[in-house]
Amino acid sequence: MADRALPPLPPPSPEPAVSAAALGSPLQPLPLPPARRAPHDTYVVQVRKYQIYRVPPPENAYLAERYRNERAGGGGKGRCAGSSPACSPCLLRTLGAALATAVLVAAAVAISVGVLRPGVPSFSVDRLTVSNATRQHRTDYDFFLTAVNPNKMTALWYRDGKARLLHHGTTLASGDMGDPELGGEDATDFSVLLHGARGGRAPKAVEKGLTGSKAAVALQLTVEVSVQVHVGALGFGVKRLAVDCEISAAGLRKYVHISSQKCKSRFGN
């Protein structure tokens, strides 16, 4: 029994032979095993809104500054350069400002010229009435004058004045200018009553005309009156106006027929 033979051991399993071709050249590295992929995980991060801080890029400040300058008019040159659509409003505003300035300057010049150098009004004698005041032993001459203002932008307001009636240099009567009757701005009517000298002897031609002669009598009416130039309700400097009328009358009865007349007027100093 003791000498019973044990069963033979199984031969060792032969190791697989690795050829040089499978291992490759000793200088080539062995291929790495494929990497294992990590499982995908999802994370939710909650951040409060007021804790989010953002810093704008520096170029934003430059763009904002340029935009403010253009709105304020400082960048109008850049906006209107070339054929930009913004050029049309800029051009219209510029033309409008230039036109308004030109209108204001023209109005100021016109008013200045009208005030400093107004046109001289023209006078005419519309009617002459002669009356004899027997109690005072004098002859009164009642003239009705019309003054036409040639100025379109200014009005002429007449103040106090004096008038004289002469015949070849001899004073026949004198008196004050009456107040304007109508008070219009373009045409103003005056009634000027001149009183002759008491007991004075008139020239021969005047005496004949007063007694009924129809012979022509030469008369000269001179008027000096103060005139103030007005633009609306604004009154400016007062000027002295001198009027000289050469009249030819057919007799000197109550209602005198004026054959001819020529009136000149000018502003004095």
The 10s digit of each residue's pLDDT in 154-176 is 888 888 889 999 999 999 999 99
The 10s digit of each residue's pLDDT in 59-114 is 777 788 888 888 776 544 444 544 455 556 777 888 888 888 888 877 766 666 65
What is the phi/psi pair of residue 193, to 5°?
-105, 120
Element holding 208 (H helix, E strand): helix 204-210
Q: What is the pLDDT of residue 12?
A: 55
What is the rounded CA–CA span in Å between residue 200 and residue 182?
A: 35
User: 10 Å Cβ neighbour count for 121?
Assistant: 22
Q: What is the pLDDT of residue 215?
A: 92
Q: Which two tokens stand for residue 28?
A: 């080539």
Contact between 90 and 79 (Cβ < 8 Å): yes
Q: Say whether pLDDT at 231 is over 80.
A: no
216-231 vs 155-167, strand pairing mode: antiparallel
The pTM assigned to this predicted structure is 0.57
Contact between 227 and 238 (Cβ < 8 Å): yes
The 10s digit of each residue's pLDDT in 116-140 is 677 899 999 999 999 986 666 789 9
The 10s digit of each residue's pLDDT in 33-51 is 665 655 667 777 676 665 5
Q: Which two tokens stand for residue 41?
A: 């995980």
Give me the mean pLDDT over the 198-210 stretch.
85
